[in-house]
Structure 1
Protein backbone atom coordinates (compact mmCIF):
# COMPACT_ATOMS: atom_id res chain seq x y z
CA UNK A 1 0.00 0.00 0.00
CA UNK A 2 2.97 2.30 0.48
CA UNK A 3 3.37 2.84 -3.28
CA UNK A 4 -0.13 4.33 -3.64
CA UNK A 5 0.74 7.52 -1.72
CA UNK A 6 2.38 10.58 -3.29
CA UNK A 7 5.21 10.53 -0.77
CA UNK A 8 6.68 8.03 1.63
CA UNK A 9 5.16 7.65 5.09
CA UNK A 10 7.16 9.49 7.75
CA UNK A 11 7.66 8.20 11.25
CA UNK A 12 5.77 9.05 14.42
CA UNK A 13 1.98 9.48 14.37
CA UNK A 14 1.87 9.17 10.58
CA UNK A 15 3.62 5.79 10.76
CA UNK A 16 1.19 4.59 13.45
CA UNK A 17 -1.81 5.67 11.34
CA UNK A 18 -0.34 3.89 8.32
CA UNK A 19 0.06 0.67 10.31
CA UNK A 20 -3.56 0.88 11.53
CA UNK A 21 -4.78 1.56 7.98
CA UNK A 22 -2.77 -1.38 6.64
CA UNK A 23 -4.28 -3.75 9.23
CA UNK A 24 -7.79 -2.59 8.34
CA UNK A 25 -7.06 -3.02 4.62
CA UNK A 26 -5.80 -6.57 5.17
CA UNK A 27 -9.36 -7.64 5.96
CA UNK A 28 -10.76 -6.07 2.76
CA UNK A 29 -11.20 -8.30 -0.26
CA UNK A 30 -11.86 -6.71 -3.63
CA UNK A 31 -13.55 -8.61 -6.41
CA UNK A 32 -13.30 -7.97 -10.12
CA UNK A 33 -17.03 -7.42 -10.62
CA UNK A 34 -18.54 -4.34 -12.24
CA UNK A 35 -20.00 -1.53 -10.16
CA UNK A 36 -23.73 -1.07 -10.62
CA UNK A 37 -26.30 1.45 -9.45
CA UNK A 38 -29.46 -0.13 -8.09
CA UNK A 39 -32.80 1.69 -7.94
CA UNK A 40 -34.86 0.52 -4.97
CA UNK A 41 -38.10 1.92 -6.42
CA UNK A 42 -38.54 -0.95 -8.88
CA UNK A 43 -38.46 -4.68 -8.31
CA UNK A 44 -35.81 -5.31 -10.97
CA UNK A 45 -33.44 -2.62 -9.65
CA UNK A 46 -33.42 -0.65 -12.90
CA UNK A 47 -34.08 3.10 -12.88
CA UNK A 48 -37.04 4.41 -14.83
CA UNK A 49 -38.64 7.83 -14.98
CA UNK A 50 -42.08 6.20 -14.73
CA UNK A 51 -41.24 4.60 -11.36
CA UNK A 52 -39.98 7.91 -9.97
CA UNK A 53 -43.07 9.73 -11.29
CA UNK A 54 -45.34 7.15 -9.67
CA UNK A 55 -43.61 7.58 -6.31
CA UNK A 56 -43.76 11.39 -6.51
CA UNK A 57 -47.44 11.26 -7.56
CA UNK A 58 -48.25 8.96 -4.65
CA UNK A 59 -46.54 11.31 -2.19
CA UNK A 60 -47.74 14.68 -3.46
CA UNK A 61 -50.96 14.32 -5.45
CA UNK A 62 -54.37 13.66 -3.96
CA UNK A 63 -55.48 10.14 -4.72
CA UNK A 64 -58.03 9.85 -7.51
CA UNK A 65 -59.35 6.79 -9.21
CA UNK A 66 -58.08 8.10 -12.57
CA UNK A 67 -54.35 7.99 -13.37
CA UNK A 68 -52.43 11.26 -13.66
CA UNK A 69 -50.55 10.33 -16.81
CA UNK A 70 -50.44 12.61 -19.81
CA UNK A 71 -52.21 11.86 -23.07
CA UNK A 72 -49.36 12.13 -25.56
CA UNK A 73 -51.60 12.84 -28.56
CA UNK A 74 -52.93 16.06 -26.99
CA UNK A 75 -50.86 19.27 -26.75
CA UNK A 76 -49.13 19.78 -23.38
CA UNK A 77 -51.11 22.94 -22.55
CA UNK A 78 -54.37 20.98 -22.88
CA UNK A 79 -52.99 18.21 -20.66
CA UNK A 80 -52.01 20.75 -17.99
CA UNK A 81 -55.38 22.50 -18.22
CA UNK A 82 -57.28 19.21 -17.85
CA UNK A 83 -55.06 18.19 -14.92
CA UNK A 84 -55.82 21.50 -13.16
CA UNK A 85 -59.54 21.45 -13.96
CA UNK A 86 -60.09 17.91 -12.71
CA UNK A 87 -59.22 18.49 -9.03
CA UNK A 88 -60.99 21.88 -9.14
CA UNK A 89 -57.75 23.90 -9.13
CA UNK A 90 -58.72 26.57 -11.66
CA UNK A 91 -59.44 30.03 -10.22
CA UNK A 92 -63.11 30.89 -10.79
CA UNK A 93 -64.58 33.27 -8.24
CA UNK A 94 -65.87 30.55 -5.89
CA UNK A 95 -62.41 28.91 -5.64
CA UNK A 96 -60.68 32.25 -5.07
CA UNK A 97 -63.02 33.12 -2.20
CA UNK A 98 -62.61 29.63 -0.73
CA UNK A 99 -58.81 30.19 -0.78
CA UNK A 100 -59.13 33.45 1.14
CA UNK A 101 -58.96 36.01 -1.69
CA UNK A 102 -61.14 39.01 -0.92
CA UNK A 103 -63.62 39.66 -3.74
CA UNK A 104 -66.82 41.72 -3.89
CA UNK A 105 -68.90 38.83 -5.17
CA UNK A 106 -68.65 35.24 -6.34
CA UNK A 107 -71.24 35.85 -9.08
CA UNK A 108 -70.39 35.07 -12.67
CA UNK A 109 -69.45 38.33 -14.46
CA UNK A 110 -71.15 37.14 -17.67
CA UNK A 111 -74.60 36.12 -16.47
CA UNK A 112 -74.64 37.75 -12.99
CA UNK A 113 -77.13 35.13 -11.82
CA UNK A 114 -75.05 32.18 -10.59
CA UNK A 115 -71.98 31.61 -8.52
CA UNK A 116 -68.95 31.27 -10.79
CA UNK A 117 -67.52 27.81 -10.21
CA UNK A 118 -65.85 25.31 -12.57
CA UNK A 119 -69.10 23.57 -13.40
CA UNK A 120 -70.83 26.87 -14.22
CA UNK A 121 -67.93 28.13 -16.38
CA UNK A 122 -67.68 25.02 -18.51
CA UNK A 123 -71.25 23.77 -18.69
CA UNK A 124 -73.66 26.66 -18.05
CA UNK A 125 -72.41 29.78 -19.78
Structure 2
Protein backbone atom coordinates (compact mmCIF):
# COMPACT_ATOMS: atom_id res chain seq x y z
CA UNK A 1 0.00 0.00 0.00
CA UNK A 2 1.14 3.55 -0.77
CA UNK A 3 0.05 4.70 2.66
CA UNK A 4 2.36 2.11 4.24
CA UNK A 5 5.28 3.83 2.51
CA UNK A 6 4.27 7.15 4.08
CA UNK A 7 3.68 8.68 0.64
CA UNK A 8 0.77 11.21 0.47
CA UNK A 9 -1.14 9.81 -2.48
CA UNK A 10 -3.25 12.89 -3.33
CA UNK A 11 -0.30 15.28 -3.42
CA UNK A 12 1.70 12.93 -5.60
CA UNK A 13 -0.64 13.57 -8.54
CA UNK A 14 -0.72 16.92 -10.29
CA UNK A 15 -2.60 18.15 -13.32
CA UNK A 16 -0.49 18.61 -16.46
CA UNK A 17 -1.70 21.47 -18.64
CA UNK A 18 -2.00 20.83 -22.36
CA UNK A 19 -4.45 23.03 -24.24
CA UNK A 20 -5.93 24.05 -20.84
CA UNK A 21 -9.46 23.23 -22.05
CA UNK A 22 -10.22 20.47 -19.56
CA UNK A 23 -8.80 21.84 -16.30
CA UNK A 24 -10.70 23.96 -13.83
CA UNK A 25 -8.80 27.16 -13.05
CA UNK A 26 -9.85 27.42 -9.40
CA UNK A 27 -10.70 23.90 -8.26
CA UNK A 28 -8.24 21.54 -9.99
CA UNK A 29 -4.72 21.16 -8.65
CA UNK A 30 -2.68 22.37 -11.62
CA UNK A 31 -0.56 24.86 -9.67
CA UNK A 32 -2.28 24.38 -6.34
CA UNK A 33 -5.83 24.73 -5.08
CA UNK A 34 -6.34 28.37 -6.04
CA UNK A 35 -9.84 28.58 -4.57
CA UNK A 36 -8.35 27.82 -1.15
CA UNK A 37 -5.18 29.88 -1.46
CA UNK A 38 -6.98 32.95 -2.84
CA UNK A 39 -10.37 32.50 -1.25
CA UNK A 40 -11.24 36.22 -1.32
CA UNK A 41 -10.67 36.40 -5.06
CA UNK A 42 -12.52 33.12 -5.55
CA UNK A 43 -15.60 34.59 -3.86
CA UNK A 44 -15.51 37.44 -6.41
CA UNK A 45 -15.23 35.09 -9.39
CA UNK A 46 -18.33 35.29 -11.60
CA UNK A 47 -17.72 31.88 -13.17
CA UNK A 48 -16.43 29.53 -10.51
CA UNK A 49 -16.29 26.67 -13.01
CA UNK A 50 -13.99 28.58 -15.37
CA UNK A 51 -11.34 26.53 -17.18
CA UNK A 52 -7.69 27.48 -17.28
CA UNK A 53 -8.11 28.51 -20.92
CA UNK A 54 -10.81 30.99 -19.80
CA UNK A 55 -8.41 32.81 -17.51
CA UNK A 56 -4.94 32.29 -18.96
CA UNK A 57 -3.85 32.26 -22.58
CA UNK A 58 -0.63 32.65 -24.54
CA UNK A 59 -0.89 35.27 -27.26
CA UNK A 60 2.15 36.11 -29.38
CA UNK A 61 4.39 34.50 -26.81
CA UNK A 62 2.94 36.53 -23.92
CA UNK A 63 0.83 35.30 -21.03
CA UNK A 64 -2.50 37.15 -21.05
CA UNK A 65 -4.86 36.84 -18.08
CA UNK A 66 -8.59 37.47 -18.33
CA UNK A 67 -10.75 38.03 -15.26
CA UNK A 68 -14.49 38.26 -14.73
CA UNK A 69 -15.30 39.61 -11.29
CA UNK A 70 -18.72 40.15 -9.79
CA UNK A 71 -17.68 43.72 -8.88
CA UNK A 72 -14.72 46.04 -9.27
CA UNK A 73 -11.67 44.95 -7.34
CA UNK A 74 -10.21 47.41 -4.81
CA UNK A 75 -7.92 47.37 -1.80
CA UNK A 76 -5.87 44.28 -1.02
CA UNK A 77 -7.92 42.14 -3.38
CA UNK A 78 -6.19 43.84 -6.30
CA UNK A 79 -3.03 42.02 -5.39
CA UNK A 80 -0.85 45.06 -6.07
CA UNK A 81 2.31 45.54 -4.00
CA UNK A 82 2.38 48.73 -1.98
CA UNK A 83 3.86 50.32 1.15
CA UNK A 84 1.97 50.97 4.36
CA UNK A 85 3.20 53.28 7.13
CA UNK A 86 2.30 51.66 10.43
CA UNK A 87 2.59 54.92 12.36
CA UNK A 88 -0.34 56.46 10.47
CA UNK A 89 -3.98 55.51 10.89
CA UNK A 90 -4.58 55.43 7.12
CA UNK A 91 -1.21 53.91 6.27
CA UNK A 92 -0.05 56.92 4.26
CA UNK A 93 3.30 58.59 4.96
CA UNK A 94 3.67 62.37 5.00
CA UNK A 95 6.47 64.50 6.41
CA UNK A 96 3.89 66.49 8.38
CA UNK A 97 2.67 63.35 10.14
CA UNK A 98 6.27 62.29 10.82
CA UNK A 99 7.02 65.73 12.29
CA UNK A 100 3.96 65.49 14.53
CA UNK A 101 4.92 61.97 15.61
CA UNK A 102 8.45 63.08 16.54
CA UNK A 103 7.17 66.11 18.45
CA UNK A 104 4.62 64.07 20.39
CA UNK A 105 6.81 61.05 21.17
CA UNK A 106 10.39 62.32 21.17
CA UNK A 107 10.48 66.07 21.71
CA UNK A 108 8.20 66.21 24.74
CA UNK A 109 8.89 66.02 28.44
CA UNK A 110 7.05 63.90 30.97
CA UNK A 111 4.23 66.48 31.21
CA UNK A 112 3.50 66.43 27.50
CA UNK A 113 5.18 69.79 26.92
CA UNK A 114 7.38 70.20 23.86
CA UNK A 115 11.12 70.52 24.44
CA UNK A 116 11.56 72.81 21.46
CA UNK A 117 10.50 76.43 21.26
CA UNK A 118 9.65 78.01 17.92
CA UNK A 119 9.17 81.59 16.90
CA UNK A 120 6.85 81.98 13.93
CA UNK A 121 8.59 85.26 13.08
CA UNK A 122 11.92 83.48 12.52
CA UNK A 123 12.41 82.01 9.02
CA UNK A 124 12.59 78.21 8.96
CA UNK A 125 16.12 78.26 7.50
CA UNK A 126 17.28 80.32 10.48
CA UNK A 127 15.66 77.89 12.92
CA UNK A 128 17.33 74.94 11.19
CA UNK A 129 20.70 76.71 11.28
CA UNK A 130 20.40 77.43 15.01
CA UNK A 131 19.36 73.82 15.61
CA UNK A 132 22.45 72.60 13.73
CA UNK A 133 24.65 75.01 15.67
CA UNK A 134 23.37 73.71 19.01
CA UNK A 135 24.03 70.14 17.85
CA UNK A 136 27.54 71.15 16.70
CA UNK A 137 26.76 70.15 13.14
CA UNK A 138 28.30 73.17 11.40
CA UNK A 139 31.16 72.30 8.99
CA UNK A 140 33.72 74.75 10.37
CA UNK A 141 37.36 74.06 9.51
CA UNK A 142 38.27 72.41 12.81
CA UNK A 143 35.40 69.94 12.45
CA UNK A 144 36.34 69.15 8.85
CA UNK A 145 39.90 68.53 9.99
CA UNK A 146 38.62 66.05 12.60
CA UNK A 147 36.90 64.16 9.78
CA UNK A 148 40.24 63.67 8.07
CA UNK A 149 39.75 66.24 5.32
CA UNK A 150 43.06 67.61 4.13
CA UNK A 151 43.01 71.39 4.59
CA UNK A 152 45.62 74.02 3.94
CA UNK A 153 44.86 75.66 7.29
CA UNK A 154 42.27 75.49 10.05
CA UNK A 155 42.62 79.15 10.98
CA UNK A 156 39.67 81.50 10.57
CA UNK A 157 39.73 82.71 6.95
CA UNK A 158 38.29 86.11 8.02
CA UNK A 159 40.59 87.23 10.83
CA UNK A 160 43.30 84.50 10.77
CA UNK A 161 43.72 85.08 14.53
CA UNK A 162 42.59 81.68 15.79
CA UNK A 163 41.35 78.22 14.81
CA UNK A 164 37.94 78.30 13.18
CA UNK A 165 35.63 76.62 15.68
CA UNK A 166 31.88 77.14 15.91
CA UNK A 167 32.32 79.60 18.79
CA UNK A 168 35.05 81.50 16.99
CA UNK A 169 33.26 81.78 13.65
CA UNK A 170 29.93 82.85 15.19
CA UNK A 171 31.01 84.81 18.29
CA UNK A 172 34.70 85.34 18.92
CA UNK A 173 35.86 86.39 15.47
CA UNK A 174 36.27 90.19 15.40
CA UNK A 175 33.69 90.54 12.61
CA UNK A 176 31.14 88.31 14.38
CA UNK A 177 31.72 89.93 17.75
CA UNK A 178 31.19 93.38 16.27
CA UNK A 179 27.87 92.27 14.74
CA UNK A 180 26.68 90.86 18.09
CA UNK A 181 27.58 94.12 19.84
CA UNK A 182 25.56 96.07 17.31
CA UNK A 183 22.58 93.70 17.71
CA UNK A 184 22.65 94.01 21.51
CA UNK A 185 22.83 97.78 21.23
CA UNK A 186 19.95 97.79 18.72
CA UNK A 187 17.79 95.64 21.01
CA UNK A 188 18.92 97.54 24.12
CA UNK A 189 20.22 94.41 25.82
CA UNK A 190 23.32 95.93 27.34
CA UNK A 191 26.88 94.99 26.53
CA UNK A 192 27.60 91.76 24.71
CA UNK A 193 30.15 89.67 26.58
CA UNK A 194 29.37 86.04 25.78
CA UNK A 195 32.22 83.72 24.85
CA UNK A 196 30.23 80.93 23.16
CA UNK A 197 27.33 80.68 20.74
CA UNK A 198 25.61 78.22 23.07
CA UNK A 199 25.70 80.75 25.89
CA UNK A 200 24.26 83.34 23.52
CA UNK A 201 21.35 81.22 22.32
CA UNK A 202 20.51 79.63 25.67
CA UNK A 203 20.69 82.83 27.72
CA UNK A 204 23.72 83.78 29.80
CA UNK A 205 24.01 83.89 33.56
CA UNK A 206 25.05 87.50 33.02
CA UNK A 207 21.94 89.52 33.81
CA UNK A 208 22.79 92.02 31.10
CA UNK A 209 22.64 89.35 28.38
CA UNK A 210 20.10 86.83 29.65
CA UNK A 211 17.07 86.37 27.45
CA UNK A 212 18.73 86.83 24.07
CA UNK A 213 18.14 83.16 23.29
CA UNK A 214 14.45 83.46 24.07
CA UNK A 215 14.16 86.55 21.91
CA UNK A 216 15.63 85.01 18.76
CA UNK A 217 14.43 81.43 19.34
State the TM-score, normalizing by the size of structure 1.
Answer: 0.52
Flag structure 2 segments of 5+ consecutive residues without an equivalent. Answer: 1-19, 45-74, 76-83, 104-114, 174-217
* Partner residue of 1:86 out of 131, 134, 142: 134
Structure 1 residue 117 displacement after superposition: 0.5
Shift of 1:77: 2.4
- Residue correspondences, number: 102
**In structure 2, what is the equivalent of residue 114 of structure 1?**
162
- 2:24 is aligned to 16
Quote the residue 1:95 is aligned against.
143
Residues 49 and 101 (structure 1 numbering): CA distance in 2 closer, same or farther, change over 3 Å? closer
Higher relative contact order (CA 8 A, sep 6+): 1
**Aligned-residue CA RMSD (Å):** 4.2
Q: What's the CA shift for 1:55?
A: 6.3
Rg larger in structure: 2
Please report how far the alpha carbon of residue 40 of structure 1 lies from its aligned counterpart in structure 2 after TM superposition.
Answer: 2.6
- TM-score, normalising length: structure 2: 0.34
Which stretch shows the higher mean deviation, 113-122 or 74-83? 74-83
Structure 1 residues 50, 111: CA separation in 2 closer, same or farther (over 3 Å shift)? Answer: same
1:53 and 2:99 aligned: yes
Displacement of 1:123 in angstroms is 1.5
**What stretches of structure 1 of length at least 5 have no aligned partner?**
1-9, 58-65
Q: State the distance in 2 between where 1:89 and 1:16 align.
A: 65
